[in-house]
Each structure stands twice: as structure tokens, then as C-alpha cells.
Amino acid sequence: MSNGRILHTMIRVGDLDRSIGFYTDVMGMQLLRKNENEQYEYTLAFVGYGDESTGAVIELTYNWGTTEYEHGSAFGHIAIGVDDIYATCDTLRAAGANITREPGPVKGGSTEIAFVEDPDGYKIELIQNKSASAGLGK
């Protein structure tokens, strides 16, 4: 599949408006589209930093009437590259976001990372852009 590309990552959310607000107002993404399926009682919202034709986005899935999910132990996190991890964390904290790991070098390396949680408890890793593609151990 040499012509394949990642389109989106889907996560289930318990309050769609709250999640859209977090990803747009706090994380700075755009609401790209929203689709409601009355027959099967779910709503999808796609958020991202750009159009799906140019990069991967996040699909927020709200199953009507379900307010929380068990995350299990297999899912790790969504990673987002940022230009200034320290200023980004200050902005996120001021907006009420839960920073679960303060920005700084990864253990055993120099790549600067931080973690923030979305309203449903999903982990989002922030990685300093200058070293985002180098690998965490570098």
C-alpha cells in the first residue's frame, strides 16, 4: 500500500459538545464536519488542524445516551507536534486543560514532551516540533 495514508483516529466521547469545545477552543483545531445518524443513534464530528485531504484528523464518535467508556489498556495516546511546548502548556493550563505531565525532556533523551488529558480522559502527547520526527530516545 505505497499510496496509503492515515485519514483519522476515532475515539468515543461521552459529551460531544464538550469534546468539540475542548478540541477546538482549547487545542486550537477546527470542526471540519459533523454527521448525525438518527437511525443508528450516533453523531460523528471530525476535528483537526487542517482539511482531511492534507493530514490526519480525529473522529469524535458520540453514541447517543452513552456518557462514558472504559479505555482499556491497549490505547496509548494521540501525539501532536507543537512549536513551543512550554508556551503551549501555559496556554492549555490557562484554558482549564489538565496537564498530566509537565513539559520537559523524555527520560533517557532530549526530546521535549508533555501530556494533556481531554475531557474523556484520553491522553494527548505534545512533542516539540524541532525533534518530533527524530524519535523520543534521541
CB of 112 closer than 8 Å to CB of 118: no
59 is in an annotated binding site: yes
Clarify whether 125 is annotated catalytic: yes
Point out the catalytic residue in the list 36, 38, 70, 125: 125
36 is in an annotated binding site: no
8 is in an annotated binding site: no
Q: Please, which residues have CB within 8 angstroms of residue 137's CB and are 6 or more apart in sequence?
A: 106, 108, 109, 111
* Cα atoms found within 13 Å of the Cα of residue 47, Cβ hemisphere only: 21
Residues at the binding site are 59, 77, 125
Annotated catalytic sites, by residue?
Answer: 125
Residues at the binding site for Zn(2+) are 59, 77, 125
